[in-house]
Amino acid sequence: MRLTVGRDQSDIEKIRYFAKWLLDIGEGKLGGIDGKTVIDIPDDILINDPHDHIGSLIDFVYPSILEKYNNTSYYQERAILAPKNEVVQEINNRLLSKFLGYEIEYLSLDTIRQSEFLHD
């Protein structure tokens, strides 16, 4: 529903239709009794590159990323959802490889371990 803020009525209708379509797919409402059906994917969201699915998806979701990387609203309006952490990692690696510079990895912990060097 956040996608409808500041949009005109025709865009709102399209967004709501698309959201309902996604929910119907997820809830199995588009299939037959056995849950099997053919779902037509609209051409404007279909990835047609058989050789580089992830690259095509990145280019679709993040067009001109190198020109807009400083624009925070650019990222707020986009997201790629993935079913597995391995896919998320591959997408992240591919995105990061597009940027110049070197990579820095920051590590964190969610528990505290007593240091063997601390004295009472």
Q: For the segment 25-50, what is each residue's pLDDT rounded down to a tens digit?
A: 888 787 666 667 788 888 877 887 88
Domain span at residue 10? 1-41
Q: For the segment 64-99, what is each residue's pLDDT rounded down to a tens digit?
A: 888 988 888 888 888 898 889 999 999 999 998 888
Q: Which of 120, 52, 119 is nearest to 91 (CA)?
A: 52
pTM over 0.75: no
Same domain, 9 and 52: no
Note whether residue 33 is domain-resident: yes
Average pLDDT over residues 104-117: 79
Same domain, 61 and 93: yes
Note whether residue 32 is domain-resident: yes
State how far the Cα of 14 lies from the Cα of 20, in Å rounded to an integer: 10
| Integer angstrom CA distances of residue 24 from 10, 21, 28, 30, 46 | 21, 5, 6, 6, 18
Q: Which of 61, 99, 64, 108 is nearest to 81 (CA)?
A: 61
pLDDT score, position 6: 67
Q: For the segment 4-15, what is each residue's pLDDT rounded down to a tens digit?
A: 666 778 888 888
Same domain, 31 and 66: no
Note whether residue 118 is domain-resident: no
Note whether residue 19 is domain-resident: yes
Domain count within the chain: 2
pLDDT at 113 over 80: no
pLDDT band at 1 (very low <50, low <70, confident <90, very high): low
Same domain, 95 and 76: yes
State how far the Cα of 13 lies from the Cα of 41, in Å rounded to an integer: 18
pLDDT score, position 73: 86
Helix (H/G/I), strand (E/B), else coil: 67: helix
Same domain, 33 and 66: no
